[in-house]
Amino acid sequence: MIDADPDILTLDEVACYLRVTKRTLYRLAQEGQLPAFKLGGVWRFRRAELDQWIAENTGKRTSTT
């Protein structure tokens, strides 16, 4: 049996990680605003891409204030 990759997160895990609702994640993923991919029709997220997305988006917000 192959262990699940801890660097690939489920929708529930990302919702907890980002402290947002699953509905918000669905919308962001579908609109292409959040780095995500579908595997077997289910949204998945790479932790490294999420961390980069967070850094880029918080950096934009910080640099404009």
27-64 pLDDT, tens digit per residue, is: 999 999 999 999 999 999 999 999 999 999 987 654 44
Q: Report pLDDT for 60.
A: 63
Q: Report pLDDT for 5.
A: 73
Q: Quick one: average pLDDT of 1-29?
A: 89
The pTM score is 0.78
1 within domain boundaries: no
24 within domain boundaries: yes
Tell whether the model's pLDDT for residue 65 goes beyond 70: no
23 within domain boundaries: yes
Burial (CB count <10 Å: 0-12, 13-18, 19+), residue 23: exposed
Domain region containing 29: 8-63
27 within domain boundaries: yes
Kindly report the CATH number assigned to the domain that includes residue 41.
1.10.1660
Q: Quick one: average pLDDT of 1-30?
A: 89
Element (H, E) at 49: helix 47-63
2 within domain boundaries: no
**How many structural domains is the chain composed of?**
1
